[in-house]
Structure 1
């Protein structure tokens, strides 16, 4: 029976959603049954999922609120299944050059839950982004797309291999 995976995400302008969809697509290629949903729309029971990946965009040093709320709301159910976290945010090449530690609210969640791994991917902020601060960043010339989809796909493939090749550990 194929294993079921939930990829939940918190996004403001859609960049983190695109990362989540990429992760979901790679997991599906591994034969897993995957749903990718905005974290705020996951309101019911998640016990039907065998594993969960949760991502949040970083804004002003914090993970998106809906991703944090998802972890709090489903804490008991998440404690019993494999869980991976990702952040999307730096508007430079730093995420491709080195490991970036989780921001404080993600670190707290990692301390409370048995998280397998957290990774930070580069972010994307381009013309048309919502929000006053986003507009200021774009006007200052510091926007752009810093996502490394090869790295995102490799991370997702590693998760998929963990779930498919070592089901006894999951």
Structure 2
């Protein structure tokens, strides 16, 4: 494939954006043209040949901007290769085992014929927005659980699939 790939994401505190940037870097190094935007700023996906969309997990739900992105662009997304990722567990569980998509995301994946999904560990550090985030941090349960080696490996598989097509 010689077209352009959109990498988009929904995030509140920037952790998922950093994962999306890492994915975009790997895709670019594989020779693909990549645009990366926060989900609310994507107005049209028609010019993209493939899409990678991610969302932070909050209380068992994908980030609202990521959900809205899928809903708003569902017709166009169903016509192109689509991969999804989630970020969120604030523990090492995402590096230790495969964590399936949350139920509503699983339904969207089926409806859109997504090629894959992965859950990466999340990151919640001092200065995070929101009272829930502050409560989690005050309980000492924050930290950075993103595994960038795993993120880059997954992105390389996406790139391989795209360049083979």
- Spell out the pairing of 1:48-87 with structure 2 (5 A cutoff): 48-87=47-86
Q: Which runs of 4+ in 1 moved over 3 A?
A: none
Query: How far, CA to CA, are the matches of 1:47 and 1:40 in structure 2?
Result: 16
TM-score normalised by the chain length of structure 2: 0.98
How many residues align? The count is 165
Query: How far, CA to CA, are the matches of 1:153 and 1:75 in structure 2?
Result: 27
Query: How far, CA to CA, are the matches of 2:103 and 2:61 in structure 1?
Result: 8
Query: How far, CA to CA, are the matches of 2:145 and 2:113 in structure 1?
Result: 29
Which residue of structure 2 aligns with residue 21 of structure 1?
21
Runs of 5+ consecutive residues of structure 1 not aligned to the other structure: none
Matched, 1:96 2:100: no
Q: CA RMSD in A?
A: 0.9
Report deviation, 1:107: 1.0
3-state DSSP class of the match of 2:159? helix
Which moved further from structure 2: 151-160 or 103-112? 103-112
Report deviation, 1:104: 1.5
Query: How far, CA to CA, are the matches of 1:127 and 1:105 in structure 2?
Result: 30
3-state DSSP class of the match of 1:31? coil
Query: How far, CA to CA, are the matches of 1:12 and 1:22 in structure 2?
Result: 17
Runs of 5+ consecutive residues of structure 2 not aligned to the other structure: none
Query: How far, CA to CA, are the matches of 2:106 and 2:2 in structure 1?
Result: 31
Which moved further from structure 2: 62-71 or 104-113? 104-113
Spell out, residue by residue over 1:44-86, the C-alpha distance to the aligned partner (whole angstroms, 9 max, x if none): x211111000000001110001101100111110111100000
Query: How far, CA to CA, are the matches of 1:26 and 1:3 in structure 2?
Result: 16
TM-score normalised by the chain length of structure 1: 0.95
Which residue of structure 1 aligns with residue 10 of structure 2?
10
Spell out, residue by residue over 1:23-59, the C-alpha distance to the aligned partner (whole angstroms, 9 max, x if none): 000000001000110000002x211111000000001
3-state DSSP class of the match of 2:86? strand
Query: How far, CA to CA, are the matches of 2:94 and 2:124 in structure 1?
Result: 15
